[in-house]
Chains A and B, each alone.
Chain A
Amino acid sequence: MTKFLETSVDKFIFKVATDCYYNEEGVWARAEGDKVRIGLSDFLQQRSGDVAFAELKPEGTELSFGDEVAVIETIKVDIALSSPISGTVVQVNPAMEDAPEAINQDPYGEGWLAEIEASDWEAERSKLLDPEAYFARMKAEAENEVKK
Chain B
Amino acid sequence: MPNKIPEQNPRKVVIVPCSGIGKTYGTVSREAAYEITEAVRPEATQLVALSLLVLGDESARAAVAANPAVTIDGCKLACATKMVQESGGQVVQDFAVLDVYRRYKQFRPKGIAELNEGGQQLARALAEEVAAVVDEVEGGQHG
Contacts and interface: CB of A to CB of B under 8 A. Distances in A.
Contact of B76 (A50, A52, A53): A50
A53 B102 contact: yes
A136 B76 CA distance: 29
A75 B105 CA distance: 13
B75 A75 contact: yes
B75 A53 contact: no
Interface string A46-79: 0000101100000000000000000000010000
B24 interface: yes
A75 B98 CA distance: 8
Nearest to A49: B75
Contacts of A50: 75-76, 98
B75 A52 contact: no
B25 A75 contact: yes
Contacts of B102: 52-53
Contacts of B76: 50
B25 to A, nearest CB: 6
Interface string B97-125: 01001100100000000000000000000
A53 B102 CA distance: 7
Which 3 pairs show the lowest CB-CB distances between chains A and B?
A50-B98, A75-B25, A52-B101
Given A50-B98, A52-B98, 11 more contacts: A50-B75, A50-B76, A52-B101, A52-B102, A53-B102, A53-B105, A75-B23, A75-B24, A75-B25, A75-B75, A75-B98
